[in-house]
Amino acid sequence: MFEITGRDAAGRCGVLSINGRRLETPAILPVVNPKKMLITPRELAEMGFQGIITNSYIIYRDEGLREEALAKGIHALLDFDGVIMTDSGSFQLFRYRRVEVSQREILEFQDRIGVDIGVMLDIPTPPDVPASAAERDAGETLLRAEEAAEFERRMLLTGTVQGSTYPELRRRLASRISELGFEVHAIGGVVPLMEDYRFAELVRLVMPARQCLGHAKPVHLFGAGHPMLFSLAVLMGCDMFDSAAYALYARDGRYITPSGTLRLEELRELPCSCRVCSEHTIAELRSLDAEEREKLLAEHNLLVSLEEVRRVRQAVHEGSLWELVERRARAHPRLLEALHALHAHSDYIEALEPVTKPRAFFYTGAESLLRPAVRRHLERLGNIELRGRELVLLQEAEKPFSRSYRLSSSRRYHICVVSQVFGIIPLEVEESYPLMQHEGLEVPEEAQLRHMRRAVDEYAAGFERVHVHTSLAEVLNVEGEVFESHGEFRADPDPELKLRALADYQFGRGAGRMLFSSARAEYSRQGMLRRAYSDEGELLATLRPEDGVLVLTIAGARRLLRLPPPMCRVVVDEEAERFVREGRSVYARFVKACDPAVRPGSEVLVVNGEDELLATGRAVLSAQEMLELGCGVAVKTRHGCR
């Protein structure tokens, strides 16, 4: 069972439950050589690792290890009670092009020794081989995947995507493997790319496969063992990695950091506070004999890797994964190229990106302008139906902008702030996340100026007149009637205008008309919108202060239900209807259909197959995940409709 517990971008935190054991994802599985253990599995467990990966083929080929594993089981053999995943011999097949075992034999062996997660015997294909060779190997891998999927077993089984450096081939293979019923998916054949720092190419190969593997199963990225890659891999939607780098680097005297690798002889200080670095000086490490130094370096490398995985998990939960990836990308030019390559897949990532997060949006550089949140905002602006005829453009000020300028839009003037991050921010929707909850630079960079000019040019089309404040006109050199004082645009607040704009922005075009025609607003002492009522005094919605999200009552939901299906809807089957009416959460396995525009954090209407309102609540998953996942909460119900 795989349950998602948190998400940001395409990254997610989850729990994989196997044979009574739990593996929290994202997870790093240290590679354990069953013949030569530099760090024992017991020591790995004491460090905090919940899972390891070892090689079943090595065990199978060693008569002593094989008999002991068959007699005692893999967990007793390795003295490890956590999750154990085993490679099938594909690594040896990759290196030597042959193994002395059939797939059937190695699958049976993995299952008999009590492996938690087994792996099919796929055909790893090196990068840059001729297309014909890649097609041949992919075809054989698919045949083996179909054979493995029919194998009866107690363990979870991993289906691996290959395809060399051919994105379309990987896409095709991933589509077929996703249909075969594997419990875990994997992407292989990419270690040489990582070793050669071909990170942009890694993105171009992983993303087509990842998009075709669906959302119901955890995805393992074979060989992604360096912590500088963890955040990027998680952002792409990978859940598990394995690492032999900790031992290989230690043998070579290399010291891992989250942003790269250093040789021990290059260090003057130990820039870490793990147990190894706290208890030893650089001089002491250098003076140790080779075996002891290798073990301590391996321990440090493992602890740094585990710390980075925990940092990534925290970033997912708090909504700061983009910032972490952008910081890591600054550590190496090839990582920065990879981040640029990732933005080519922003459609896929945006569909999974939460609409609201616990943490503010922090601008870290020009790459931040390409995040899905920026694009989503600019697209949502097109949903707003009711706007003034003349556009007024102001420079950014202290937030909230409407209070700084003491202005609000009117039926004549549509007043907007030109933002160095979000391009255009109408005052009507300024409270919506992340428009109020973001931090940028005091002086915009050239990339931001280009972004602002482009946003203004696109948004200004269609207005009768454009008024540009003089300070903004000087900075952006945009066309319009220049003015110095904004006092001439002051007008009495129009609550319906603001309410309708907020609803259109959040729920989609036409929502404001359905929800807030003939409505009145209630404001806080600070002048911020807080509640909306019908003319009869019925509460329709409240505006959540921390993120500006409209939270519907049942009365408001009934009004919004007049929007054409499937807008804002999550449809559940008859089995769940009674419980949802009582206000219980909606579980993914009961979802029959969903508005494709639903994102994690969206306020939704829960209906039955007859489009009758059952409840209103907050989506926990994206539309795609609701339809694919077999477990976990899909919607946290707020108000049931008895």
How many Cβ atoms are within 10 Å of 460's Cβ, its own excluded?
18
pLDDT score for 524: 86
Instruction: Supply the pLDDT for residue 492.
Output: 75
> What is the pLDDT at residue 393?
96
Write out residues in the chain with pLDDT < 50, as ranges.
none
DSSP string, 588-635: GGGEEEE-TT--TT-EEEEE-TT--EEEEEEESS-HHHHHH-SSSEEE
Torsions phi, psi of 119, nearest 5? -130, 135
Please give the positions annotated as active site. Answer: 87
Model pLDDT, residue 96: 64
What domains are defined for the chain? Answer: 2-349 (3.20.20.105), 365-549 (3.10.450.90), 564-642 (2.30.130.10)
What are the distances in angstroms from CA 108 to CA 68, 90, 111? 16, 16, 5
C-alpha 586/C-alpha 599 separation (Å) is 15
The pTM score is: 0.95
Report the distance separating Cα 533 and Cα 531, nearest Å: 7
**Tokens in use for 543?**
């505006």
Return the pLDDT at 243: 87
Which contiguous run of DSSP H or E holds residue 27? strand 27-32
